[in-house]
């Protein structure tokens, strides 16, 4: 720790774990930055920690079922339909 760092309050000091060897810089819209800051505040974590968590989750290889499980449901259409797109959708959806 340098003398300059020792003058900063503990929560403002930059402490980087040894295992992190690279820096990733991205440009984003201000709205996205603010949303990331809000999420970090809500979780009581730093913005970089939350960004790493989001990236790790987005890049993790998971089976399709585990990624789309929250979308599970039934599409409700009227039984008798004359519209071609509805008939095609009904024909492809075995749950209807």
Count of domains in the chain?
A: 1
Which domain range does residue 35 map to? 29-60
Asked if residue 21 belongs to a domain, the reply is no
**pTM value?**
0.48
CA separation for the pair 14, 26 (Å, rounded): 19
Confidence of residue 83 (pLDDT cuts 50, 70, 90): confident
User: Residues 18-73: pLDDT tens digits?
Assistant: 576 788 899 999 999 999 999 999 999 999 999 999 999 888 887 877 777 777 77
Asked if residue 74 belongs to a domain, the reply is no
């Amino acid at each position: 720790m340098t003398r300059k760092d020792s003058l900063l309050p503990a929560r403002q000091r930059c402490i980087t774990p040894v295992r992190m060897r690279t820096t990733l810089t991205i440009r984003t819209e201000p709205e996205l930055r603010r949303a990331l800051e809000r999420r970090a505040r809500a979780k009581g974590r730093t913005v970089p920690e939350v960004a790493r968590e989001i990236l790790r989750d987005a890049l993790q290889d998971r089976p399709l079922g585990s990624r789309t499980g929250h979308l599970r449901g039934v599409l409700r259409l009227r039984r008798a339909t004359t519209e071609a797109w509805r008939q095609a959708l009904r024909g492809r959806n075995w749950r209807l």
